[in-house]
A = this chain, B = another copy of it.
Amino acid sequence: MIYLSCDYQEGCTPEILQRLAESNMEQTEGYGLDVHCARARQLILSACGLNPQRDGFWREDQTAGMVHFFVGGTQTNEIVIGSLLRPHQGVLCADSGHIQVHETGAIEHGGHKVLALPTKDGKLTAMQVQDAIMQHQFDPNIEHVVQPGMVYLSFPTETGLIYSRQELQAISAICKQYGLPLYIDGARLGYGLTAEGSNVTLRDIARLADLFYIGGTKQGALFGEALVITNAAYRKDFRYLIKQGGAMFAKGRLLGLQFETLFTDDLYWRLSRHANEQAMRIKQALQSKGYPMPLDSPTNQQFAIFEDDKLAQLQQEFTLSVVEKTDPTHTLVRICTSWATQSEWIDRLIAAL
The chain A residues found within 8 Å of chain B, CB to CB, are: 1-3, 6, 8-12, 14, 17, 20-21, 23-31, 58, 71-72, 74-79, 82-83, 86-88, 90, 101-114, 140-147, 217-218, 222-223, 237, 239-251, 253-254, 322, 340
**Contact present for A239 and B105 (CB under 8 Å):** no
The CA-CA distance from A78 to B141 in the complex, in Å, is 19
Q: Which of B11, B87, B245, B247 contacts A244 (CB 8 A)?
A: B87
Of all chain B residues, the one with the shortest Cβ separation from A147 is B240
* Alpha-carbon gap, A143 to B68, bound state (A): 14
Q: Which residues of B contact A12 (CB under 8 A)?
A: 24
Contact of A104 among B72, B104, B244 (CB under 8 A): B244
Contacts A74-B246, A75-B245 supplied; 14 other A-B pairs, CB < 8 Å? A9-B27, A10-B27, A11-B251, A25-B340, A76-B246, A83-B87, A88-B241, A102-B141, A108-B108, A108-B112, A109-B244, A111-B111, A143-B240, A143-B248
A106 interface neighbour in B27, B246, B340, Cβ under 8 Å: B246
Q: Report the minimal beta-carbon distance from A18 to chain B, rounded to whole angstroms.
A: 9
Residue on B nearest A140 in the bound complex, by CB: B322
Closest chain B residue to A27, Cβ basis: B3
Partner among B105, B140, B237, B246 whose Cβ is within 8 Å of the Cβ of A72: B246
Residue of A6, A25, A31 with most chain B CB atoms under a 10 A cut-off: A25
Q: Is the CB of B78 within 8 A of A87?
A: no
Please report the C-alpha to C-alpha distance between residue A303 and residue B146 in the assembled complex, in whole angstroms: 25
Query: Which chain B residues lie closer than 8 Å to A237 at the CB level?
Result: 86, 88, 143, 147
- B30 & A143 in contact (Cβ 8 Å cutoff): no
Q: Which residues of B contact A25 (CB under 8 A)?
A: 10-11, 340
Q: Known: A111-B111, A112-B105. Is A248-B74 also a contact (CB below 8 A)?
A: yes
